[in-house]
Amino acid sequence: MLKVVLIDDDPISTFVTEKLIEKNVKEPVQFFKFTNARKALGELYKLRPNYLFLDLNMPEMNGWDFLDSLNGESEGTSIYILSSSVDERDINRASSYSMVKDYLSKPLIKKAISRIFS
């Protein structure tokens, strides 16, 4: 079973992402959803997810802070930034993190799901 962590303070975005993955991924998927990046960080080592989708703009701890706080806890996890920001600076900054596989715009689309989970 695949483990997928969704970190986003917008429950509608999380719902849409979850449903799209469920509909388009052949394997069974177990989702772990967090509206707070700090709480997700505390659970990450225990969960050991296959995939993690991270929003950037969140209160308390944003996506950048989350990435900066990972200390090897993401080993074996494919991390994707899923953001509504199309700012070129964000896209460039994301590529500076070796653990980030790709920068995706919200909402997630079927073509991206196929590429990620192939």
**pTM, to two decimals:** 0.95
Given a contact cutoff of 8 angstroms between Cβ atoms, the answer to whether 59 and 26 are in contact is no
pLDDT at 50 over 90: yes
Instruction: Give the separation between CA 107 and CA 45, rounded to whole angstroms.
Output: 27
Total structural domains within the chain: 1
**What are the pLDDT digits (tens) for 93-116?**
999 999 999 999 998 999 999 999
pLDDT at 118: 85
Q: Any idea what the Cα angle at residue 57 is, between residues 54 and 58, rounded to 5°?
A: 85
Q: How many residues does the chain have?
A: 118
Task: Calculate the dihedral angle through the C-alpha atoms of 65, 9, 58, 111, rounding to the nearest 10 degrees.
Answer: 80
Q: For residue 48, which amino acid is it?
A: R
What CATH number is attached to the domain comprising 49?
A: 3.40.50.2300
**What are the pLDDT digits (tens) for 55-78?**
999 999 999 999 999 977 678 899
Q: Which domain holds residue 56?
A: 2-116
